[in-house]
Structure 1
Amino acid sequence: MRTCSKKLINKMDNLWLFYGENTYFLNQELKRWKESFIEKHGDINIETLNGETCAVKDIIFACDAVPFLGEKRLVIVKNFISSQKSEETDRKKEDQKALIAYLKQVPSTCVLVFFEQSVDKRRALFKKIKEAGTIKEFENLKGTSLSQWILEEVNKRGGKIEFTNAQFLAEMTGRDVWQLNQEINKLLAYKEDKQISREDIEKTVSANFNVSIFAFVDAVGQRNAKKALDLFHGLLDRGESLQMIFYMIVRQFRLLLQVRYLLDKKFDYRTITSKLKLIPFQTPILCKQALNFSSEELKEIYRILFEIDIDIKTGKIPATQDNQKIFILVLERMIVKRGFLGGVTSVV
């Protein structure tokens, strides 16, 4: 992630673009800017426009408006660039050209901020902002960078956490920074001495959906039926869709079958990552999980999952929201039978 500006609003250039996948950092930066602006100029001179519905003339009008009882206005335009389509009408294309031309003359009394989750860097408007203003990209944190952020955030909020526990917390939440923010607050409220341990995380943190699925498959691989059942029912208790749980289990075992095949062929991590188009940090974890099963076990599991899928689609196993008992029973039976292993040939 590119570092956030430390300048105050009244010292800034007046044309900016904030964008990036890390929507938590993106929103936090905008929040800091608004707070800084309000402290200096008050909130009456802040205007936020929905870029998906507003016209170019609305943006220009908002920028040209005279500040009320203040020196500056802050105009925030959300999702304007990403909402522009390549097959625009001639009128809209002319409007965009007019906006690009206007950016050269945004009055000094206005700070104009475009706010986007994603942008097409080939578009003329992006190029113009890059040329005339300042662009800040907020990228997702990965690996040690995310763990370091957790360490710093916990410390900033008056708590303490070891680096290895910060890594574990990141894994538990699937590296979702929005959830991490909530879980850090929850952990610090839970701990009187503010020292966060691995046990605290296990007791308090709601595991990310993908992480829970991974943990479920791990328990199956370890032949730990009780843990697998607990994780399965934990997902149901959280209100996760039963069909979504099932299809994520299918997806995970399909991945493991592919990984196991490549491991048996003696491919290294880099090749496996490339062939399966994995995120690099996933590869060693998936390889380790795949080795909990033999190739034959994974084939048998996937065969049974495929049969269940057919039974759902043909109506043999009811899977409607108000009739899920048989579906749940089928999955529970597979879990109890040590992860579908041991000669299971029928599940219904």
Structure 2
Amino acid sequence: MLAEPTGEYNLSELFGGDIGLGDVRAHADALPFMADRRLVIVHGLLGRLAGASKPAARRGKSARTRATATPVRDNDALEALLDYLPLIPPSTALVLVEDALDPAIVAGRLPPERAHIHAYDRPRPGDLGRWIERRAKHHGGKLEAAAVRQLAQLAPDDLGLLDGEICKLVTYADGRAVTPDDVELLSVTPEVTIFGLLDA
């Protein structure tokens, strides 16, 4: 789907801290652009409405920038979202990404012929280096040990961001091992702001 020439126009990524059902429907009900299907990824909305998790941080923000308020269950909004799931157009693939949500809360309400639940454990802090090495191998490259340690400190709470950085570094290295200098050159920590870059 995303490998097609129009793939980027058929991908929407939403974050549950500041969206509602109307936002999801606006993206999920849209027709694909010159393609058969579109992909909508929603982070943290189910968990927030169920009172089971904090709102998801936007890509590139560290855990320190996430909201710290105690999550509160919103039954009406949760029911409305669950009622909508069977109505999603067949041309839309909706992916709900949750950090801390018991699948039993929603499993009975998902359309069995269309919905699938997959659980993926986050690597423990001590295993993050090995995860980085595996992702580098997946992208067709390798990293020096010092580069692995640098990346492990970059965004340990955002595996999507981290994987994107690994892919970028492997592509840049073009067959050689990624070095700490490569990480220093190409990877920006989440705490770096546009103001810091301008001051530099």
Which of 1 and 2 has greater Rg? 1
Number of residue pairs matched by the alignment = 154
Residues 171 and 204 of structure 1: CA distance in aligned 2, closer, same or farther (over 3 Å): closer
Say if 1:172 and 1:130 are closer, same or farther in 2 by CA, change over 3 A. Answer: same
Distance in 2, Cα, partners of 1:193 & 1:61: 42
2:9 matched to 1:44?
A: yes
**1:245 corresponds to which residue?**
none
Work out the percentage of aligned pairs sharing the same amino acid: 19
Matched, 1:124 2:100: no
Deviation at 1:103, TM superposition (A): 1.5
| Structure 1 residue ranges without an equivalent (≥5) | 1-8, 10-34, 207-348
TM-score by length of 2: 0.51
Question: In angstroms, what is the RMSD of aligned CA positions?
Answer: 4.6
Cα gap change, 1:121 to 1:204, in 2 (>3 Å): same
TM-score scaled by length of structure 1: 0.33
Number of the residue aligned with 1:150: 133
> Separation in 2 of the partners of 1:73 and 1:122?
24
1:54 matches 2:35 = no
Match of 1:93 among 61, 70, 75: 75
Matched, 1:115 2:97: yes
Residue 121 of structure 2, aligned match among 139, 161, 180: 139
Distance 1:111 1:137 in 2: 18
The secondary structure found in structure 2 opposite 1:81 is helix
Quote how far apart the aligned CAs of 1:45 are.
Answer: 3.1
More contact order relative to length (CA 8 Å, sep ≥ 6): 2
Task: Verify the 8 A CA contact 1:81 1:119 in the aligned structure 2.
Answer: no
Structure with a larger share of its residues in helix: 1
Q: Quick check: 1:49–1:77 contact (8 Å CA) kept in 2?
A: yes
Distance 2:133 2:92 in 1: 36
- Unaligned 5+ runs, structure 2: 52-71, 185-200
Q: 1:149 to 1:127 in 2, by over 3 A?
A: farther
User: Residue type of the partner of 2:130?
Assistant: S
Q: Distance in 2 between the 1:69 and 1:204 partners?
A: 38
Q: 1:140 to 1:47 in 2, by over 3 A?
A: closer
